[in-house]
């Protein structure tokens, strides 16, 4: 038996401090004001349906170091402002400070009119037209692409189908092998009747997806973090940063039904990408066609895209210039942690500038 020794005076002191933090926290929560997201100046340069392509302004005093712009392709899950969530937590700002010219695709919020959109529409349609727009704006035949999570998988498919338009490819926390033993999300979806789900609900509600992701780590993501929140309630800046993350977590667009159907059935259930059997728009996606330089970045504690789900990439592409960068963090920490700001974006900028 463990002998707990609780001193009454220390216990009383803890309770008083806890009550003080709660009291101060209520005042800070009342005064928090609007929760802003997306901190870097940007200009919309192309629109199509609900998609908006943004170009970001380079900070004053930073000179261009790369004539080839980089296009960020985010996942259809959650919102892309994760990459620019606050002043001192911005992947986009970090890239700009390395002299990159940065563009980003914002997919918007699909509604029932988007139900029939397929992966062909997203990859050979929207992404291809954004790439064409950026190429034309800069007088180039090819650009750099940085794909994030599901957006990384889309970027891999795009590069395999349009290799002549991609100069360099960076993939971040991108699933490639969708059936690794430690992939809990994959295990959950293997036996789901996706056809019945999509035929019943149409577009997949973002709220349903969000709670699925949170349920992968129910104690830390739905309970413990709110207990820990008490320790930061007396700091107005930390309260606002916490709420900013909460806003992003629960800002979950619905997903177009047909795209969700194909992505889950072909990629998760059949593992068709790594098997060379995935088809987009009637064309087979051959990763061997990815011959440009590739930098594959993954998070060592990623519970959504475990390292084993992404590191096989190097053995399946045709590129002779393949690098990996392992980050000691999780799926979100790779964008918002202080270490990521100091180490990751400078490393991406250096890699791009060298090519």
Residue pLDDT, tens place only, 303-345: 889 999 999 999 999 999 999 999 898 887 777 788 888 888 9
210-248: per-residue pLDDT in tens? 888 888 777 777 777 777 777 778 788 888 888 888 888
User: Cβ distance 91 to 102 under 8 Å?
Assistant: no
| The predicted structure's pLDDT at residue 2 | 58
Q: What is the DSSP string of 2-56?
A: ------HHHHHHHHHHHHHHHHHHHHHHHT--------S-EEEEEEETTEEEEEE
Answer yes or no: 149 catalytic: yes
| The predicted structure's pLDDT at residue 294 | 98
Q: What is the pTM of this model?
A: 0.88
Residue 78 has pLDDT above 60, yes or no: yes
Residue 198 has pLDDT above 60, yes or no: yes
Report d(CA 153, CA 175) in Å as an integer: 6
Tokens of 239: 């309260």
Under the banding of pLDDT at 50, 70 and 90, the label for residue 131 is: very high
Residue 288 has pLDDT above 60, yes or no: yes
| The predicted structure's pLDDT at residue 32 | 74
Question: DSSP code of 295?
Answer: E
| The predicted structure's pLDDT at residue 230 | 76
Among the listed residues 130, 149, 157, 292, the single catalytic one is: 149
Containing H/E element for 274?
A: helix 272-275
| The predicted structure's pLDDT at residue 221 | 76
Tokens of 123: 């990859």
Residue 82 has pLDDT above 80, yes or no: yes
Under the banding of pLDDT at 50, 70 and 90, the label for residue 3 is: low
Residue 24 has pLDDT above 70, yes or no: yes
Q: Which residue has the higher pLDDT, 314 or 23?
A: 314
User: Cβ distance 44 to 130 under 8 Å?
Assistant: no
Report d(CA 268, CA 309) in Å as an integer: 11
Residue 125 has pLDDT above 90, yes or no: yes
Which phi and psi angles does 284 have, rounded to 5°? -75, 135
Residue 208 has pLDDT above 70, yes or no: yes
Residue 61 has pLDDT above 60, yes or no: yes
β 322-327/70-73 pair status = unpaired
Question: DSSP code of 204?
Answer: B
Residue 199 has pLDDT above 80, yes or no: yes
Residue 291: closest CA among 108, 134, 165, 115: 165
| The predicted structure's pLDDT at residue 340 | 81
Which phi and psi angles does 104 have, rounded to 5°? -145, 140
């Amino acid at each position: 038996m463990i002998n707990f020794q609780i001193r009454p005076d220390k216990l009383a002191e803890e309770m008083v401090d806890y009550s003080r933090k709660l009291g101060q926290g209520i005042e800070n929560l009342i005064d928090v004001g609007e929760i802003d997201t997306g901190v870097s100046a940007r200009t919309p340069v192309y629109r199509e349906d609900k998609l908006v392509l943004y170009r970001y302004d380079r900070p004053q005093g930073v000179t261009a170091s790369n004539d080839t712009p980089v296009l960020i392709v985010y996942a259809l899950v959650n919102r892309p402002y994760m990459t620019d969530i606050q002043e001192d937590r911005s992947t986009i700002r970090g890239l700009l400070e390395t002299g990159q010219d940065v563009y980003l695709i914002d997919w918007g919020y699909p509604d029932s009119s988007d139900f029939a959109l397929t992966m062909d529409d997203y990859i050979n349609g929207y992404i291809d037209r954004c790439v064409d727009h950026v190429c034309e704006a800069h007088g180039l035949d090819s650009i750099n692409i940085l794909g994030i999570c599901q957006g990384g998988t889309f970027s891999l498919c795009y590069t395999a189908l349009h290799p002549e338009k991609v100069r360099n490819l960076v993939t971040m926390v991108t699933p490639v092998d969708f059936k690794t033993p430690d992939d809990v999300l994959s295990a959950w979806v293997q036996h789901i009747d996706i056809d019945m789900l999509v035929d019943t609900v149409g577009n997949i509600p973002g709220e349903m997806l969000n709670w699925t992701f949170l349920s992968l780590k129910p104690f830390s993501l739905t309970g413990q973090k709110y207990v820990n929140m008490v320790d930061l309630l007396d700091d107005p800046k930390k309260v606002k940063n916490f709420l900013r993350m909460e806003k992003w977590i629960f800002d979950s667009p619905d997903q177009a039904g047909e795209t969700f159907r194909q992505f889950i059935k072909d990629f998760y259930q059949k593992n068709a990408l790594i098997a060379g059997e995935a088809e987009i728009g009637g064309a087979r996606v051959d990763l061997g066609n990815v011959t440009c330089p590739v930098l594959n970045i993954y998070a060592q504690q990623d519970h959504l895209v475990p390292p084993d789900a992404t590191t096989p990439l190097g053995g399946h592409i045709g590129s002779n210039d393949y690098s990996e960068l392992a980050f000691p963090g999780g799926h979100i920490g790779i964008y918002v942690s202080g270490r990521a700001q100091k180490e990751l974006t400078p490393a991406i900028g250096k890699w791009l500038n060298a090519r």
